[in-house]
């Protein structure tokens, strides 16, 4: 379970750690959005003059109101706000993205709401965010994801972020709640995949879920046994299947998926395949701090074999 907590705390952060940089090279309907590639989002933003580099943001800065929040002009369509939000997300502008989207917290549009859930979570993860603010943002992000699902149950990203945010809330409510929510989290990840089978990141997260329960320590198993008539269980074989499914959906998409393929093969005492995947993880181009950590762990494991 600790593995699941640790991974959910990292993959979606902005900046040097996480999967945020992937937005530049994948469809936003992969893990993030509506089937538009990042270049398409940028081209449309260029055409409409909404947001371009630093100066482009003036189109939205021009409508600032009190407390420093930017006000999107009333004539903006939801689609245009989403395009602007996707640009800011891809640029790593976490605070500006949150300021843009929080104005729409009462919206009935699921696409806006799950993006607001993600933005709130990203803001909570910043080192500059106080502990009190982080807790509030964590609960807010869950409520936004919940509302997104209420508005559109068939939205894949809403299911993904509901699962992620529910896991985050469990961090404040103790290990019993965390384990108690585990089945619900997996169900939402699975539903997200049903709706978007090519979402490699969600498939990877289910693999992490399986890996976490396969290696769950005895004391956590005892807690799970008190919460469920039939406690959730998994195996390293099941985790391996999901990690491979993620690679099939988007080959070489994430250094950590390569690492966990190697680690899972080690758990299954298949050193030959472990060497193969750990070597791939070690050689993965390091674009983020997380990639560097993956390289370091992969090298350590390779040296231990």
With beta carbons less than 8 A apart as the criterion, state whether 45 and 56 touch.
Answer: yes
Domain ranges within the chain, ordered by starting residue: 1-6+73-238, 254-304
Report which of 73, 78, 75 is spatially closest to residue 59, judged by C-alpha positions: 73
Give 13's pLDDT tier (boundaries 50, 70, 90): very low
- Determine which of 77-81, 94-98, 186-190, 266-270 has the lowest per-residue pLDDT on average: 77-81
> Rg of the chain's alpha carbons, rounded to an integer?
20
The CA distance from 176 to 222, in Å, is 10
pLDDT digits (tens, 9 = 90+) for 62-101: 444 434 444 444 435 899 999 999 999 988 899 999 999 9
Position 59 scores a pLDDT of 41
Position 229 scores a pLDDT of 63
**Interior CA angle at 146 toward 169 and 20, to 5°?**
70
Q: What is the CATH number of domain 1-6+73-238?
A: 1.25.40.10
The CA distance from 200 to 120, in Å, is 23
pLDDT digits (tens, 9 = 90+) for 48-57: 444 334 444 4
184: how many CB neighbours lie within 10 A of its CB? 13
Give 175's pLDDT tier (boundaries 50, 70, 90): confident
Joined together, the tokens standing for residue 206 give 């289910």
Joined together, the tokens standing for residue 191 give 């539903």
Tell me the CA distances in angstroms from 216 to 88, 187, 222, 224, one per residue in order: 38, 19, 10, 10
49: how many CB neighbours lie within 10 A of its CB? 10
> CB under 8 Å to 222, separation ≥6 — which residues?
none
> CB under 8 Å to 258, separation ≥6 — which residues?
247, 252, 277, 278, 280, 281, 284, 294, 298
SS3 19: coil
């Amino acid at each position: 379970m600790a593995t699941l907590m640790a991974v959910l705390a990292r993959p979606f952060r902005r900046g040097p750690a996480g999967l945020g940089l992937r937005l530049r090279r994948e469809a936003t309907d992969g893990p993030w959005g509506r089937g538009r590639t990042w270049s398409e989002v940028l081209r449309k933003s260029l055409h409409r003059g909404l947001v371009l580099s630093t100066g482009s943001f003036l189109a939205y800065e021009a409508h600032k109101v009190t407390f420093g929040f930017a006000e999107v002009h009333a004539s903006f369509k939801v689609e245009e706000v989403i395009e602007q939000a996707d640009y800011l997300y891809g640029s790593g502008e976490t605070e500006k993205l949150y300021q843009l989207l929080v104005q729409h917290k009462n919206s009935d549009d699921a696409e806006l709401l799950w993006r607001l859930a993600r933005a709130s979570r990203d803001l909570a993860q910043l080192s500059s965010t106080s502990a009190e603010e982080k807790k509030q943002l964590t609960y807010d992000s869950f409520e936004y994801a919940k509302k997104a699902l209420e508005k559109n149950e068939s939205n894949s990203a809403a299911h993904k972020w509901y699962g992620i945010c529910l896991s985050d809330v469990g961090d404040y409510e103790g290990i019993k709640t965390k384990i108690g929510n585990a089945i619900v989290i997996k169900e939402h990840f699975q539903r997200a995949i049903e709706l978007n089978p090519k979402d490699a990141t969600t498939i990877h997260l289910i693999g992490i879920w399986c890996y976490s329960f396969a290696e769950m320590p005895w004391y956590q198993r005892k807690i799970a046994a008190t919460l469920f008539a039939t406690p959730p269980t998994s195996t390293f074989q099941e985790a391996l299947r999901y990690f491979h499914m993620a690679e099939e959906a988007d080959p070489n998409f994430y250094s950590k998926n390569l690492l966990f393929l190697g680690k899972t093969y080690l758990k299954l005492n298949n050193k030959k395949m472990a060497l193969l995947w750990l070597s791939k993880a070690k050689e993965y181009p390091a674009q983020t701090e997380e990639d560097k950590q993956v390289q370091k762990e992969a090298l350590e494991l390779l040296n231990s074999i």
